[in-house]
């Protein structure tokens, strides 16, 4: 039986992943979550998981209690999450949100199986390390971000030398038509109200600021290896076309589908075959029209900042992501405004620019983790003293 682990199983991607699995037809190895103990325990019971891990040590007793009488082992803490990735599995879903997903993903790659990668932060912070590790261990990384799955599908059977450009679509988020002034005063509740996709809270805010698309630009650069000037973003409010690949002969391949992550997850699950996935089928006549517009980098500076990271590479992605995560925490807590998030990341890229440049081939996981910690501490300090307001 196929052995499957899901990291971040209690989240939006995690639940969609389990939704595609049938208990008894796969062996679920590890399921991991954070504070949603009841949900994690219910999942572990349903799939008779070998181990359930909560990232929070204070949740250990509650999880242990909720799984009493089952065969499922229980563990807690960040180290236990990483150790769960050492358990042999054929297919591992990496769906923890944020840089916390990096180490478990790296550990899973060392087994040489398939890593379905939803955690885009892994590629943003440690792209060269991750890709080298996959090559070294003979592991396969399959992108689960909808745009990257779309590009991957459009590239299947194609010679990369024939590719001229890759175009990622962006919904534009809830603030697509808002003025800069109105956006600056946006609340967390307004920012999480995504028009087309149902996602976790953090990625929803990142979509509103287009930090999500910024991360995806970097993710594209790192995963597919295309030069930054070949990677574009187009705003497409209907979220039906997920990405396009343009070839040297002027033709373009577009990937279309409903805004339902189970397609990209199912593709990674069934790859290289295609199998039935229970997503709605598109009715193009009913949709009537698909529209496209250029992104506005003045209102969405995250896109411009991503361009800088794509050029520098090295440890700049780790700085970009850590600063963004800390700024997002403060936005959600009400301490900084919506537009301040990009301003903070901008200042942090500037402040740590001397330490970011590295030979990508020599980059290590330890370098990335150390820079992640340094950038978090520096960003916390910067926010606390409001030093980004120059
Ligand atoms: P979510 O917030 O719904 O779930 C996150 C999961 O990670 C939960 O299981 C949570 O318990 C766990 N988690 C959070 N902090 C943790 C920590 N410090 N240590 C260990 N576990 C922790 O997030 P999501 O929307 O499912 O997104 C997951 C990942 O997939 C993100 O990297 C996101 O960018 C990416 N992604 C999501 C979507 C989507 O539609 N939701 C689409 C593309 C990519
Ligand atoms: Mg995406």
End-to-end CA gap in the chain: 58
Query: Strand pairing of 51-54 and 73-76?
Result: parallel
Angstrom distance (rounded) from CA 200 to CA 204: 6
Tens digits of residue pLDDT in 342-385:
999 999 999 999 999 999 999 999 999 999 999 999 999 999 99
Pocket test for ligand 1, best of 12, 54, 329 (most atoms within 8 A of CB): 12
Residues 6+ apart with CB under 8 A from 123: 117, 130, 218, 219, 222, 223
Contact 319, 356 (CB under 8 A): yes
pLDDT of 390 reads: 63
Give yes or no for a cis peptide into 272 (omega within 30° of 0). yes
Distance 71 CA to ligand 2 centre (A): 36
Confidence of residue 256 (pLDDT cuts 50, 70, 90): very high
Contact 148, 225 (CB under 8 A): no
Distance 78 CA to ligand 1 centre (A): 15
Pocket test for ligand 1, best of 77, 203, 259 (most atoms within 8 A of CB): 203
The overall average pLDDT reported for the chain is 97
Is residue 303 over pLDDT 90? yes
The atom of ligand 1 lying closest to the CA of 118 is: 30
Q: State how far the alpha carbon of 309 is from the alpha carbons of 12, 305, 306, 325, in Å.
A: 28, 7, 5, 16
pTM assigned to the model: 0.98
User: In the block, which residue shows the tokens 């028009």?
Assistant: 195
Ligand 1 environment, Cβ below 6 A: 8-14, 33-34, 55, 81, 95-97, 100, 118-121, 145, 197, 199-200, 202-203, 261
Distance 192 CA to ligand 2 centre (A): 15
Confidence of residue 389 (pLDDT cuts 50, 70, 90): confident
Angstrom distance (rounded) from CA 177 to CA 3: 46
User: In the block, which residue shows the tokens 């790859």?
Assistant: 271
Sign of the torsion angle spanned by Cα atoms 144, 148, 152, 154: positive
Q: Region 1-24: what's the mean pLDDT? A: 98
């Amino acid at each position: 039986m196929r052995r499957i682990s899901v990291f971040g199983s209690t989240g939006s991607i995690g639940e969609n992943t389990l939704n595609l699995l049938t208990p008894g037809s796969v062996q679920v190895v590890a399921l991991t979550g954070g504070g949603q103990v009841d949900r994690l325990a219910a999942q572990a019971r349903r799939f008779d998981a070998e181990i359930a891990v909560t990232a929070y040590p204070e949740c250990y007793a509650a999880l242990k209690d909720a799984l009493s009488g089952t065969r499922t082992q229980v563990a807690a803490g960040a180290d236990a999450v990483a150790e769960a990735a050492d358990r042999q599995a054929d297919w591992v879903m990496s769906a923890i949100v944020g840089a916390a997903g990096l180490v478990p993903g790296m550990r899973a790659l060392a087994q040489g199986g398939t890593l379905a990668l939803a955690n885009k932060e892994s590629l943003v912070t440690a792209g060269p390390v991750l890709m080298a590790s996959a090559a070294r261990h003979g592991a396969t990384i399959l992108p689960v971000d909808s745009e990257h799955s779309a590009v991957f599908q459009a590239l299947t059977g194609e010679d990369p030398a024939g590719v001229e450009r890759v175009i990622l679509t962006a919904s534009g988020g809830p603030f697509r038509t808002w003025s800069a002034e109105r956006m600056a005063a946006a609340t967390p509740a307004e920012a999480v109200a995504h028009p087309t996709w149902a996602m976790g809270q953090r990625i929803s805010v990142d979509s509103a600021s287009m930090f999500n698309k910024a991360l995806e630009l970097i993710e594209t650069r790192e995963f597919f290896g295309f030069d930054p000037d070949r990677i574009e973003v187009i705003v497409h409010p209907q979220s039906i076309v997920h990405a396009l690949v343009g070839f040297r002969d002027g033709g373009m391949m577009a990937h279309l589908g409903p805004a339902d992550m189970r397609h990209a997850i199912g593709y990674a699950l069934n790859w290289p075959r295609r199998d039935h996935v229970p997503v709605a089928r598109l009715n193009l006549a009913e949709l009537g029209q698909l529209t496209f517009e250029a992104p506005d980098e003045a209102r969405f500076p995250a896109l411009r900042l991503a361009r800088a990271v794509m050029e520098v590479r090295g440890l700049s992605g780790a700085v970009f992501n850590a600063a963004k995560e800390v700024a997002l925490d403060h936005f959600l807590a009400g301490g900084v405004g919506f537009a301040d998030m990009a301003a903070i990341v901008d200042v942090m890229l500037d402040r740590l620019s001397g330490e970011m440049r590295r030979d990508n081939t020599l980059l290590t996981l330890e370098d990335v983790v150390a820079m992640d910690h340094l950038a978090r501490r520096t960003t916390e300090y910067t926010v606390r003293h409001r030093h980004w307001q120059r």
